[in-house]
Amino acid sequence: MGDDMNLLRGAGLLEDGQNKGHDAGLRVPKQSSRQSISLALRPISFAIFCGVGWGSTSVAAEPPPSADLLEEIVVTAEKRDSTVQATPISMSAFSGQELQAAGITTVEELALAVPGVSTRTAGPGQTEYEMRGLTSSGGAAATVGFYLDETPLSASAVALNGRTVIDPELFDLNHAEVLRGPQGTLYGAGSMGGTIKLVTNPPKLGKFEGAVDLNGSDTTGGSLNGGGSLMLNLPISEMAALRSVTTEKYVSGWIDRIVIKPGDFPYPTNFGSCGPSYHCTRGDVQNAPVQQDIKGSNSMKFFSNREVLLIKPNDQFSATATFMYQRIDAAGFNTYSIPPGNLAFYQPYNVPEPYYDQFKLGSLTMSYDFGSAQLTSNTSYWQRDVIQTQDSTEALENIFNLTQFLATAWFENDQTSQASEELRLTSTGDGPFQWVGGVYYADLHSAYLGNERSPAYATALGCNLPYSGGSCPPGQTYNINNGGAAANPQGVIDQAIGPFNVLKQYAAFGEASYRLTSALKLTAGLRYFDYTSANISAICGVGTGTGNASCQGSSAKTNGNNILPKLNLSYTPTGDTTLYGTVSKGSRPGGDNLLIPLPTAAQLAANPNAYNCGPGSGPVYVTSQPYSYGPDSVWSFELGEKARSSDRRFTFNSDVYYVKWEDIQQVIALSCGYPYTANAGTGRTYGPEVEMSARIATGLDVSFAGAYTVATIYAPTPQSGITAGTRITNVPKYTGSVTLDYGWALSGDIKGSFRIADSLVGPVQDVAYVRETLPAYNLVNVRLGLAKDTWNAYLVGNNLTNKHAELTINDTTFAWQQPTFLRATSNQPRTIGFDVQYKF
């Protein structure tokens, strides 16, 4: 790292003193591009060629200061300052300046430019991130760690959308880092596929400054959108400053919610061919008479505020307090019905589907520089409250084979909070021996409260269920209380576990590197973690295995531990070439399942085929309650290279990896429509990743990213119902992106810019009632801009070809998956608008 930092100083790109952590607002200033992109072209042989062809000495000649240099971004992937090219792991980094110029405002948009990253989403705040084929569709814990500065935000939760992370605004970001492969040594048990890290701009002492971003647009099939962001840096004294960042925006929505005239909604047909007790074909909803067409049913309002206070009394000590509030109010999900698949959702009754997501964060990061080492402490606490509704009218009609549609909505409230602490000590200086060590603790509480009722069901199905010592709420079809304060109807649950779903983790970690020679460095790391998970839950109602006669309850408590080692060997024959190999292990905790409504012995004896969650009824069923599942783990093997030309106009970073995934936490879809998680066997993922950036001429940059992923379960467990060779869900076969940036001088100090980006995502298998294959798609975005002094103005065209993609399916079906229809998540149609940025 020292050689690389000295080169940056020699090139005039890094000032002395800018290597003490991100308090200095680290970012190397030149224009342009991302520093690691992926494809599959013999990475190691190419690196050797680069090492021979671009320099034969151990230190490259320093290039002269020039606007033709590609940007170097200072990152903290190894808990110390370095650059992408000097960090011997597979990673991508984007400066805040680049993100703003590209119009990238969400992490989901950022993921399209990074190789090996995939998503599962139903809209803002409802996205899961996956890397290298390690899908998080199963289990309670995410497979990708998500950090805002020093605070871990990827939560484990029993809720069906518990692996989703918040959707933070990227305005006033210093940089974003995407680390691929297991990062458990430094980033914990939830990072076995990789880590996404957002680093914000810290307050600046003694300086008043601000920035404004205003934008407006129009969406095909929707209407007007608009929003704005404001940053103010306020000096309080010589040793204190406050940085305030606020964003507010509105998206009009583009999904039609179509309500059919009463009595005219078509009934499903083709009974029994896809399961023992369901109709299998949806009626012709597209040609049914319409009572109401609600345009823009997925419109969304977003508000975010972040206040950061820095106190730095001297060069050794600093304290940074962060307070953040974010809220999403959406009229509905970004999903539509298949069939017919025309960006519309058809309903028998007018049942709205609002979504509400509120997030609060408080954190304190303190740092003290002892000279030879730096001590860092991060204490964080956050709360997230998600409330959502889904129309379940069609699903219940099919489940109970009714002769009428009864208006029913599924209400869900997901409550999550986490307190965490990390304390670490990191060596400083440029000596051959570097190290970092620390301890970590997290205490996460979550509750999943669901309710489905309709007064009409009191007449249609009867209502005699005792509930919490009282009478049955009218038409109680289904109620689940998983971890809430009232999760003990009729005393069926062991209260000794406590009133919440709780996951507690303790960890100790360390990593050290030693430069064996001037070109050869060995890095070894180890993390030990221990976890305890406890859960209580109850289900009641006519939709359960006991009918409406009683409630079913369960309690579960699991615990475990693991050791996550890492070994990395890097070889730097020149200052512009790095070869590396890494062996590492990743893991995540086990968890507890929601209850499956299994029938009683008497019910099963009376009618074996009527309860197709249980034995003898349908192709996939369970014979006993699957209360919990164990941890899963991966071993990852990676070879990679990082090369750049001696004039800093070209970089080419690539890697190949192989991952063995044991005890995969996989969602199993039962014939009755209920999902649960099981350890489904052993799988593997492998493939190449490539990133390239080139400055072809002054002002003209081209970058490329690509990955090809093979991801299969090759040794499934018998109870999973999965056959050997089945592809792991939610993993694109390939991804790629190409970006062209061109900037030129117009007249005087006015500059023009043009950017076009094309992102390609290959076919994906996803699971609804059965497995489905979603087709490949590509999205094209264009920006044309003018800049003068402190302002920039752009004409923007997103999804210019108006591609209608199927991103994921049925990830908002909280209750029952149905064979009669799918719900696919849609991307935003063609959106044309403007973006104006001003700094002062």
Q: What number is the average pLDDT over the span 3-32?
A: 38
Residue 568 neighbours by CB distance under 10 Å: 21
Look at 104-113, 177-186, 275-284, 666-675 and tell me which has the smallest mean pLDDT: 666-675
Which ranges in 453-507 belong to alpha helices (H)? Answer: 455-460
The reply to whether omega before 340 is within 30° of 0 (cis) is yes
Q: What is the pLDDT of residue 667?
A: 78
Q: What number is the average pLDDT over the span 729-748?
A: 93
Residue 136: DSSP 8-state: -
Helix, strand or coil for residue 607?
A: coil
Q: What number is the average pLDDT over the span 267-276?
A: 83
Share of the chain above pLDDT 90, in %: 52
Q: What is the pLDDT of residue 546?
A: 58
Q: How confident is the model at residue 816 (pLDDT cuts 50, 70, 90)?
A: low
Characterize the bridge pairing of strands 628-629 and 279-281: unpaired
- For residues 204 and 822, the answer to whether their CB atoms sit within 8 Å is no
Phi, psi of 275 (to 5 degrees): 180, 160
The reply to whether omega before 339 is within 30° of 0 (cis) is yes
Q: What is the pLDDT of residue 63?
A: 52
Residue 643 pLDDT exceeds 50: yes
Residue predicted with more confidence, 388 or 318:
318
Which amino acid, 72? Answer: E
- For residues 189 and 507, the answer to whether their CB atoms sit within 8 Å is yes
Q: What is the pLDDT of residue 810?
A: 73
Q: Is 22 left (phi over 0), alpha (psi -120 to 50) or beta?
A: alpha
Q: What is the pLDDT of residue 547?
A: 58
* 281, 536, 562, 668, 787 from 679: Cα distances, Å: 32, 21, 17, 10, 55
Cβ within 8 Å of residue 687, ≥6 positions away: 40, 116, 132, 133, 656, 657, 707, 708, 709, 710
Residue predicted with more confidence, 803 or 4:
803
Radius of gyration of the chain (CA): 27
Residue predicted with more confidence, 592 or 129:
129
Residue 330: name the closest of 253, 216, 221 by CA. Answer: 253
Q: Is 11 left (phi over 0), alpha (psi -120 to 50) or beta?
A: alpha
Residue 349: name the closest of 420, 281, 259, 473 by CA. Answer: 259
Give the separation between CA 171 and CA 103, rounded to whole angstroms. Answer: 10
Q: What is the pLDDT of residue 10?
A: 38
Q: What is the pLDDT of residue 729?
A: 86
What fold, for 2-839? Maltoporin; Chain A (2.40.170)
Give the separation between CA 630 and CA 679, rounded to whole angstroms. Answer: 7
Q: What is the pLDDT of residue 377?
A: 97
Give the separation between CA 319 and CA 311, rounded to whole angstroms. Answer: 5
User: Strand runs (DSSP E) across 392-540, as ranges?
Assistant: 409-427, 433-453, 476-482, 501-515, 520-540
Phi, psi of 193 (to 5 degrees): -100, -25
Q: How confident is the model at residue 36 (pLDDT cuts 50, 70, 90)?
A: very low
Give the separation between CA 161 and CA 390, rounded to whole angstroms. Answer: 13
Q: How confident is the model at residue 33 (pLDDT cuts 50, 70, 90)?
A: very low
Give the separation between CA 827 and CA 170, rounded to whole angstroms. Answer: 19
- For residues 680 and 629, the answer to whether their CB atoms sit within 8 Å is no
Phi, psi of 310 (to 5 degrees): -110, 130
Structure tokens at 553: 């309850």
* Cross-strand pairs, 562: 529
Q: Is the Cα torsion angle 212, 216, 219, 224 positive or negative in sign?
A: positive
* Cross-strand pairs, 302: 249, 328
- For residues 244 and 323, the answer to whether their CB atoms sit within 8 Å is no
Residue 651: name the closest of 659, 643, 660, 639 by CA. Answer: 643
Look at 21-30, 76-85, 172-181 and tell me which has the smallest mean pLDDT: 21-30
Look at 288-292, 319-323, 451-455, 484-488 and tell me which has the smallest mean pLDDT: 484-488
Q: What is the mean pLDDT of the chain?
A: 82
Q: What is the pLDDT of residue 139?
A: 74
Residue 616 pLDDT exceeds 80: no
Cβ within 8 Å of residue 52, ≥6 positions away: none
- For residues 229 and 201, the answer to whether their CB atoms sit within 8 Å is no
Characterize the bridge pairing of strands 591-592 and 628-629: antiparallel
Q: What number is the average pLDDT over the span 662-683?
A: 82
Residue 70 pLDDT exceeds 70: no
Residue 747 neighbours by CB distance under 10 Å: 7
Strand 344-347: give its sheet, edge to edge: 290-294, 256-260, 344-347
- For residues 483 and 448, the answer to whether their CB atoms sit within 8 Å is yes
- For residues 446 and 159, the answer to whether their CB atoms sit within 8 Å is yes
Residue 286, H or E segment: none
Q: What is the pLDDT of residue 537?
A: 74
Give the separation between CA 242 and CA 169, rounded to whole angstroms. Answer: 19
Q: How confident is the model at residue 707 (pLDDT cuts 50, 70, 90)?
A: very high
Give the separation between CA 221 and CA 171, rounded to whole angstroms. Answer: 27
Characterize the bridge pairing of strands 290-294 and 777-788: unpaired
- For residues 359 and 382, the answer to whether their CB atoms sit within 8 Å is yes
Burial class (CB in 10 A: 0-12, 13-18, 19+), 292: exposed
Structure tokens at 39: 């494809």
- pTM of the entire predicted model: 0.86
Q: What is the pLDDT of residue 611?
A: 56
Share of the chain above pLDDT 70, in %: 80
Residue 262 pLDDT exceeds 50: yes
* 74, 90, 371, 503, 760 from 702: Cα distances, Å: 21, 20, 42, 45, 16
Residue 7 pLDDT exceeds 70: no
Q: What number is the average pLDDT over the span 669-676?
A: 73
How many angstroms separate the first and last alpha carbons of the chain?
34
Task: Report CA 800 to chain centroid distance, whole Å.
Answer: 25
Residue 489: name the closest of 476, 502, 507, 505 by CA. Answer: 476
Structure tokens at 103: 């119009």
Look at 121-135, 319-333, 608-622, 641-655 and tell me which has the smallest mean pLDDT: 608-622
Q: Is the Cα torsion angle 485, 489, 490, 493 positive or negative in sign?
A: negative
Q: Write the DSSP assignment of 287-329 as a string of letters.
A: GSPEEEEETTTT-EEEEEEEEEEEE-SSSSEEEEEEEEEEEEE
Residue 779 neighbours by CB distance under 10 Å: 21
